[in-house]
Amino acid sequence: AQSVTQPDIHITVSEGASLELRCNYSYGATPYLFWYVQSPGQGLQLLLKYFSGDTLVQGIKGFEAEFKRSQSSFNLRKPSVHWSDAAEYFCAVGAGRLTGGGNKLTFGTGTQLKVEL
């Protein structure tokens, strides 16, 4: 069974500082990987996704993530955080590679990001 671990429950960074949110997954093959962001009272917005190919993927709002197979990680990064980035971030894994898509997503517990002005 697939699983996702987000070891940091809360992270606080200063506006303009760089950010890295950690995500480790457990899956028997190379999974499909996703990062979503949830603002208070809002739904989940897709930030970026990895399926194959280049291990560094670019997303919306200036975010990027790097897939590292050897570390089973898919960490999210942003070079300069803005106050509007304060939200909860979820890493998710899908099993689609084996079945051609159409699978549930398994989510981590989320990391709450606070941005200090």
Residues in the site for another protein, rule: CB under 8 A?
A: 32, 34, 36, 42-46, 49, 51, 90, 94-96, 100-110
Shorter beta-carbon distance to another protein: residue 27 or 81:
27
Distance of closest approach, residue 75 Cβ to another protein, in angstroms: 19
Closest distance between another protein and the C-beta of residue 26, in Å?
Answer: 16
CB-nearer residue toward another protein: 95 or 115: 95
Q: Which of 13/30 has CB closer to another protein? A: 30
For 18, 26, 59, 72, the CA distances from 100, given in Å and listed in that order, are: 36, 19, 23, 21
3-state secondary structure of 13: strand
For the bound state, the minimum distance from the C-beta of residue 17 to another protein, rounded and expressed in Å, comes to: 27
Cα separation, 50 vs 114, whole angstroms: 26
Which residue type does 3 have?
S
> Cβ neighbours of residue 54 under 8 Å, at least 6 residues apart?
none
